[in-house]
């Protein structure tokens, strides 16, 4: 039976520091890869000491599974979680492939672990709307759900809109709502802050174009 491996990709640094040895061994045995970005995939695979020029590397699109063991790589993070790859995994299941998720960093789970927010009930909401008014409307909906369900809401944003997202959260949420902003996870510049919204308002700190995860937990019902 052929196997599709879903491979987590760290934001930066050595993959040896982010991935366990058994996962690296499995990756090194592969010759075929379907990737979100060919350039970053070559850098990642090269850092593992693999002969990049001898590998078959194709970007995610209308990919055909040809009976080979395949590694699926996103540009950073976990394939198919707020990243491309779900269609290929669906096709692999339909074709009778074994699908194996490898152990590695997940910014969503790491942010929740380090947030101190509710870890029993939580939801990942992906990207919020780009339009400013729709974004605020969605934030209000998530805050209401969080308050009603005692649930942590987790979401992300394209890095160049991070500061707009933070501004919308501080403008829209109740002052007692607890907010976590987790930035540059797994990097030396990593920063994780959890405070009530009111505290963030007193000490605003721009995020800039750094990968970030946002989490909120509203207080009371």
Distance CA 203, CA 76 (A): 30
Is residue 99 within 8 Å of residue 89, measured between CB atoms?
yes
Angle separating helix axes 132-149 and 162-172, nearest 10 degrees: 60
Assess whether pLDDT exceeds 80 at residue 13: no
For 162, half-sphere exposure in the C-beta direction (CA atoms, 13 angstrom radius) is 16
* Fold exhibited by the domain 107-217: 3.30.950
How distant, in Å, are the alpha carbons of 10, 23, 28, 40 from that of 46?
A: 14, 15, 10, 10
The pLDDT tens digits for 52-87 are 999 999 998 877 777 889 999 998 889 999 888 899
Write the CB contacts of 62 (distance below 8 Å, at least 6 apart in sequence): none
Write out the residue limits of the CATH 3.40.1010.10 domain(s) in the chain: 3-101
CATH superfamily of 3-101: Tetrapyrrole methylase, N-terminal domain (3.40.1010.10)
Averaged pLDDT of the chain: 93
Write out the residue limits of the CATH 3.30.950.10 domain(s) in the chain: 107-217
Mean pLDDT across 18-35: 94
Q: Which residue has the higher pLDDT, 14 or 93?
A: 93
The whole model's pTM is what? 0.90
The pLDDT tens digits for 135-189 are 999 999 999 999 999 999 999 999 999 999 999 999 999 999 999 999 999 889 9
């Amino acid at each position: 039976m052929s196997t599709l491996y879903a491979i987590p990709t760290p934001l930066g640094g050595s993959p040896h520091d982010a991935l366990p040895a058994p996962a690296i061994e499995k990756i090194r045995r592969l010759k075929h890869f379907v990737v979100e970005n060919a350039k970053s995939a070559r850098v990642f695979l090269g850092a593992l000491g693999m002969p990049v020029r001898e590998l078959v590397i194709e970007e995610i699109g209308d990919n055909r599974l040809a009976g080979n063991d395949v590694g699926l790589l996103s540009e950073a993070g976990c394939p198919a979680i707020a990243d491309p790859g779900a269609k290929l995994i669906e096709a692999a299941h339909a074709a009778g492939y074994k699908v194996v998720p490898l152990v590695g960093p997940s910014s969503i789970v790491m942010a929740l672990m380090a947030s101190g927010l509710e870890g029993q009930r939580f939801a990942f909401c992906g990207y919020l709307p780009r339009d400013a008014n729709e974004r605020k409307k969605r934030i209000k909906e998530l805050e209401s759900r969080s308050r009603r369900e005692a649930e942590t809401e987790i979401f992300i944003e394209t890095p160049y809109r991070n500061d707009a997202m933070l501004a919308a959260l501080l403008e829209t949420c109740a002052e007692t709502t607890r907010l976590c902003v987790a930035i540059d996870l797994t990097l030396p510049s990593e920063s994780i802050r959890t405070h009530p919204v009111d505290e963030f308002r007193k000490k605003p700190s721009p995020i800039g174009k750094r990968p970030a995860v946002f989490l909120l937990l509203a207080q009371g019902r």
